[in-house]
Amino acid sequence: MAHQALGEDLVLPSELQDDSSSLGSDSELSGASPYRQADRYGFIGGNSAELGPGQPPADLIRQREMKWVEMTSHWEKTMSRRYKKVKIQCRKGIPSALRARCWPLLSGAQMCQKNNPGIYQELAVAPGDPQWMETIGRDLHRQFPLHEMFVSPQGHGQQGLLEVLKAYTLYRPEQGYCQAQGPVAAVLLMHLPPEEAFWCLVQICEVYLPGYYGPHMEAVQLDAEVFMAFVRRLLPRVYKHLQQVGVGPLLYLPEWFLCLFTRSLPFPTVLRIWDAFLSEGAKVLFRVGLTLMRLALGTVEQRTACPGLLETLGALRAIPPTQLQEEAFMSQVHSVALSERDLQREIRIQLAQLPKSSPGPVPLPQARLPGAQAIFESQQLAGVRGSTKPEIPRIVVEPPEEPRPPRRKPQTRGKTFHGLLTRARGPPIEGPSRSHRGSASFLDTRF
């Protein structure tokens, strides 16, 4: 295969390359059936799942599902003590039957929904901005037109998509609507009810990829420079070729990153990417992009066949489907030598090199959280702060006391301290004889 002849620039001997088995993942659970009108994902005439290996025994599939059921049943304990296990299981692929349960937990959307009761219902029934409603309406039929959910304009798929996208424009009017939100929201609606899909969309737009879907898309431009820096470091020959033919990252990267690869890769592979992305954050997108670069332009023959800009862009879109099959592809993705520390360091470097006169707001990479663990810890901290409310001082008004007669000052002139006490307190208390006392009393002490 072509990827075996590629360089070893991207290979990382990671301790987390435990991806030898993904029982219960998407292509393995798919049974080829020429008589079905839609595949197991709902695509009419789809064959995206027929490239995978055969279906494993049902008991093995059930075993993996039970692992996820156990982890999600004690989610706080799992995320606090066993996140590495969650990370590895996400890399292997979340079972299809449990994505609706796992995605809101990983992304923190379930907590957002819990903390904002009734918000989505208010947004769903509120009238939307006419400008955004018209734009969203024009894009509805473009979102997975061959999927049975989105075939009919009056079907629940398109109507739910309209409702979710409208709700986001009302929730964040300063952000509005971005066309790339359409396919992202559509994939969420394939797995989740509209309210849960909405909160997952909010988390993706504001926590995983802040600055991506706003009017200026400032974070996309920054990440494009970061991506090219990694191409230059890890795939120097590919980088040189891209420079020679004039292919800049903004010609292909927005479609990849903004749409989370929903328009670029087979659907089973897209779901596996989302599993890892919701677990580990934006670094997964960079690893996927670098893997696609290597598969498309990693050999001398591939680069020679692309003498110009159009041919190079075409090669990025024409990777053989056999090389994009979920299991083999994701194994390569997770072996890319790019860590979260590498990503943060390169972001700081590229942010410092941005021209001061750049139009639009300055990117804020610190607003991006690197995956499920950081989101969980952030929400736990916010919960602790919210539960420790400052005590409000109370003002107690009591009725005034009745005036008391002034006390007479005792006459002490010429009198001893002992005598004063005996007169003020009454007759002295008889005590045991001096022979039975352990020590002299205070009043009998001579100074």
Q: Which residue has the higher pLDDT, 118 or 423?
A: 118
What is the dihedral angle through the alpha carbons of 178, 179, 184, 186, rounded to the nearest 10 degrees?
A: 120
Give the C-alpha separation, 369 to 372, whole Å: 8
pLDDT digits (tens, 9 = 90+) for 374-383: 999 999 988 7
How many CB atoms within 10 Å of residue 70?
A: 10
Model confidence at 406, pLDDT cuts 50, 70, 90, reads low
Q: Name the burial class of residue 285, with classes exposed (0-12), middle (13-18) and buried (19+) by CB atoms within 10 angstroms of its CB.
A: buried
What is the average pLDDT across 316-333? 94
Helical (H) or strand (E) element with 346:
helix 340-353
Most confident stretch, 49-53, 373-377, 389-393: 373-377
Specify the pLDDT at position 1. Answer: 44
Give the C-alpha separation, 376 to 372, whole Å: 6
Specify the pLDDT at position 438. Answer: 46
Specify the pLDDT at position 360. Answer: 74
Tell me the one-letter amino acid at 162. L
What is the dihedral angle through the alpha carbons of 67, 72, 75, 79, rounded to the nearest 10 degrees?
A: 50
With pLDDT > 90 as the criterion, what percentage of the chain qualifies?
64
Model confidence at 116, pLDDT cuts 50, 70, 90, reads very high
Q: How many CA atoms lie within 13 A of 360 on its CB side?
A: 14
Q: Name the burial class of residue 344, with classes exposed (0-12), middle (13-18) and buried (19+) by CB atoms within 10 angstroms of its CB.
A: middle
pLDDT digits (tens, 9 = 90+) for 146-179: 999 999 888 899 999 999 999 999 999 999 999 9
pLDDT digits (tens, 9 = 90+) for 211-222: 999 999 999 999
Mean pLDDT across the chain, nearest whole number? 82
pLDDT digits (tens, 9 = 90+) for 193-202: 999 999 999 9
Phi, psi at 90, each rounded to 5°: -65, -35
The answer on pLDDT for 8 being more than 60 is no
Model confidence at 29, pLDDT cuts 50, 70, 90, reads very low
Q: Please give the model's pTM, rounded to 2 decimal places.
A: 0.78
pLDDT digits (tens, 9 = 90+) for 226-266: 999 999 999 999 999 999 999 999 999 999 999 999 999 99
Report in angstroms the alpha-carbon separations of 330 from 209, 314, 336, 428: 21, 22, 10, 95
Give the C-alpha separation, 287 to 76, whole Å: 28
The answer on pLDDT for 322 being more than 70 is yes
- Closest CA relative to residue 192, chosen from 322, 102, 86, 286: 102
The answer on pLDDT for 440 being more than 80 is no
Asked whether 261 and 270 are in contact (CB, 8 A), the reply is yes
